[in-house]
Amino acid sequence: FYALLCSVAADIISTVEFNSTGELLATGDKGGRVVVFQREQESKNQPHRRGEYNVYSTFQSHEPEFDYLKSLEIEEKINKIRWLPQQNAAYFLLSTNDKTVKLWKISERDKRPEGYNLKDEDGRIRDPTTITALRVPVLRPMDLMVEATPRRVFSNAHTYHINSISVNSDYETFMSTDDLRINLWNLEITNRSFNIVDIKPVNMEELTEVITAAEFHPHQCNTFVYSSSKGSIRLCDMRASALCDNHSKFFEEPEDPSNRSFFSEIISSISDVKFSHSGRYLMTRDYLTVKVWDLNMESKPLETYQVHDYLRSKLCSLYENDCIFDKFECVWNGSDSVIMTGSYNNFFRMFDRNTKRDVTLEASRENSKPRAILKPRKVCVGGKCRKDEISVDSLDFSKKILHTAWHPYENIIAVAATNNLYIFQDKVN
Ligand SMILES: *[C@@H]1O[C@H](CO)[C@@H](O)[C@H](O)[C@H]1NC(C)=O
Ligand SMILES: *[C@@H]1O[C@H](CO)[C@@H](O)[C@H](O)[C@H]1NC(C)=O
Ligand SMILES: *[C@@H]1O[C@H](CO)[C@@H](O)[C@H](O)[C@H]1NC(C)=O
Ligand SMILES: *[C@@H]1O[C@H](CO)[C@@H](O)[C@H](O)[C@H]1NC(C)=O
Ligand SMILES: *[C@@H]1O[C@H](CO)[C@@H](O)[C@H](O)[C@H]1NC(C)=O
């Protein structure tokens, strides 16, 4: 029973990520900006406002660039954001576009020094003849100011487009992944990275597969996974060798021959892979399904959920309008019992792994008055639709929910519907 908590209009949102306590939420957009939202503290006079997220800091993370060697434009669009654990009063996050990862520091300032000897409060040099006594500058309170400063720039290590970044559980290293390679970085060192996976064939004409996403295990710092455009997942152990081109586990489901078609390979491409919080399971999203894999069973997924099976008959037109190449992400709830992923027509889906119940909800301005409970939506295929149903033929494929995030331990979700961010909260109490 999710209800709207707040919504914000923005540029086209390209990534959403809560920090590890869920008090901060960062979004990245097509224009290279990062917006950080902070959850409002509970206040006695306005108890009903508890939990809304307000803009805390906005900054330009990436600018458009031009690669003169390759005559290529490098878009400023933010592909991924990852928070780092908090170590002092400031917050740190990594943001990446297609080529460059940046480490940002976000810090607060609520005091300013006053009483300089040589300049006045506005910074103008004082007339030396008027200076008659030595003053000791003091810190005075001022309105809270939030500053974002770039601390490190990790560049020149990717020939192809970066699709993922993942912070290791040792909190000293992170990896950045492009179509053919995965690099490992130390957070302190920007002029050197280690190539840990390289699937580039000697002859590019033999290329049959690209890397689509990668993530570190949440607790074992030597383990990571990456997914491919052929629908397989490889688990690698960095202790085995420096270059992990020999996976230690290989997860793949053999294709059902009765379902084979021209589109089989395209729709089996994995667009996102996520470890469960427990580290026991993997979740993958392909075009039509979400699958949950047990790390101890490589031959087939433990669970398969149909996200929008009614599109199976529409693959031809989805190929023609390029939608078949959309990259949907997927997320776990804090206890790994529910999974969420997006669809078209501003619909998103939730699957309860225990009760096997699923629901389709819609993120849209028309349907979500503040505090109103979201009504489950239903798509009907062929024949007559009931009044509250929507026909598969009238779905709007330009409205898609690719990016979502789940609060780490509360039932609060963030849903990016093109250029609107919606935050919904479960209304149990
Ligand atoms: C997340 O943000 C909250 C609120 O500002 C902060 O108290 C908390 O320490 C942050 N957590 C991490 C791990 O950065
Ligand atoms: C990286 O920079 C550090 C400090 O500036 C320098 O000592 C080191 O030699 C550099 N490493 C490489 C591989 O360029
Ligand atoms: C990769 O692993 C397989 C089996 O695990 C082994 O037979 C093969 O020799 C390994 N290759 C390399 C290059 O280590
Ligand atoms: C094959 O297609 C049917 C529906 O047409 C679907 O229910 C089933 O899950 C598909 N099988 C696989 C392995 O994708
Ligand atoms: C995950 O979802 C289930 C079912 O809605 C809920 O009971 C549980 O509290 C959620 N866990 C977290 C940590 O949000």
| Token pair for 239 | 């202790």
Q: What ligand is nearest to the CA atom of residue 286?
A: 4
Nearest CA to ligand 4 atom 8: 259
Ligand with the closest atom to the CA of 89: 1
Query: How far does the centroid of ligand 1 lie from the alpha carbon of residue 20, in Å?
Result: 7
CA atoms within 13 A on the CB side of 307: 24
pLDDT of the residue at 429: 47
Paired with 57 in beta bridges are: 36
Rounded Cα distance between 25 and 371, Å, is 20
The Å distance, Cα 186 to ligand 2 centre, comes to 13
Tell me, what amino acid is at 324? Answer: I
Q: Token pair of 313, please?
A: 């008959």
Angstrom distance (rounded) from CA 155 to CA 145: 29
End-to-end C-alpha distance for the chain, whole angstroms: 11
**Contacts for 428 with CB less than 8 Å, ≥ 6 apart:** 1, 411
Name the residue of 252, 253, 255, 256 to mutate for ligand 4: max ligand atoms within 8 A of Cβ: 256
CA of 245 to the centre of ligand 3 (A): 9
Q: Is the CB of 278 under 6 A from ligand 1?
A: no
CA atoms of 116 and 234, how far apart (whole Å): 61
Q: Which residues line ligand 5 (CB under 6 A)?
A: 333-335, 337-338, 352, 409-411
108 CB within 6 A, ligand 1: no
> Torsions phi, psi of 113, nearest 5?
-75, 140
Q: Residue whose CA is closest, atom 9 of ligand 2?
A: 191
Which of 195, 171, 174, 169 has its CA nearest to residue 183? 195
Tell me how far apart the alpha carbons of residues 272 and 288 are, in angstroms, rounded to a whole number: 13
In single-letter form, the type of residue at position 180 comes to: L
Q: Return the residue whose CA atom lies nearest to atom 8 of ligand 2.
A: 191
Quick one: which ligand is closest to 245's CA? 3
| pLDDT score at 45 | 62
Query: Quick check: 401 and 349 in contact, CB under 8 A?
Result: no
Dihedral pair phi/psi, residue 325, rounded to 5°: -95, 5
What is the distance in A from the centroid of ligand 3 to the CA of 174? Answer: 26
Contact of 392 with 315, CB cutoff 8 Å = no
Question: From the CA of 312, which ligand is nearest?
Answer: 4
How far apart CA 412 and CA 32 sit, in angstroms, is 26
Q: Which residues of 115-143 are buried (b: 16+ CB within 10 A; e: fewer)?
A: eeeeeeeeeeeeeeeeeeeeeeeeeeeee
Residue with the smallest CA separation from ligand 4 atom 13 is 256
pTM of the model: 0.88
Give the CA angle between residues 152, 158, 159 to the nearest 5°.
150
Tell how far the Cα of 146 is from the centroid of ligand 1, in angstroms.
Answer: 15
Per-residue pLDDT of the chain (429 residues; tens, 9 = 90+): 677 877 787 789 999 999 999 999 999 999 999 999 999 886 666 655 567 899 999 999 999 998 888 888 999 999 999 999 988 889 999 999 999 999 999 999 888 888 888 888 777 888 888 888 888 888 888 888 899 999 999 999 999 999 999 999 999 999 999 999 999 999 999 999 999 999 999 999 999 999 999 999 999 999 999 999 999 999 999 988 878 877 789 999 988 888 888 999 999 999 999 999 999 999 999 999 999 999 999 999 999 999 999 999 999 999 999 999 999 999 999 999 999 999 999 999 999 999 999 999 999 877 666 677 888 999 988 778 888 899 999 899 999 999 999 999 999 999 999 889 999 988 764
CA of 189 to the centre of ligand 2 (A): 8
Determine the residue of 154, 156, 191, 193 to mutate for testing ligand 2's pocket, defined as the one with the most ligand atoms within 8 A of the Cβ atom.
191
Task: Quote the pLDDT of residue 47.
Answer: 56
**Alpha carbon of 190 to ligand 2 centroid (Å):** 9
Go through the chain and tell me how many residues it has: 429
Spatial separation of the C-alpha atoms in residues 55 and 323, rounded to whole Å: 32
Of 324, 346, 320, the C-alpha closest to 402 is 346
**Whole-number Å distance between alpha carbons of 292 and 6:** 31
Pocket of ligand 4 (CB under 6 A): 256, 259, 309, 312
Q: Whose CA is nearest to atom 10 of ligand 4?
A: 259
Show Cβ contacts of residue 297 under 8 Å, excluding neighbours closer than 6 positions: none
Backbone angles phi, psi at 40, to 5 degrees: -70, 140
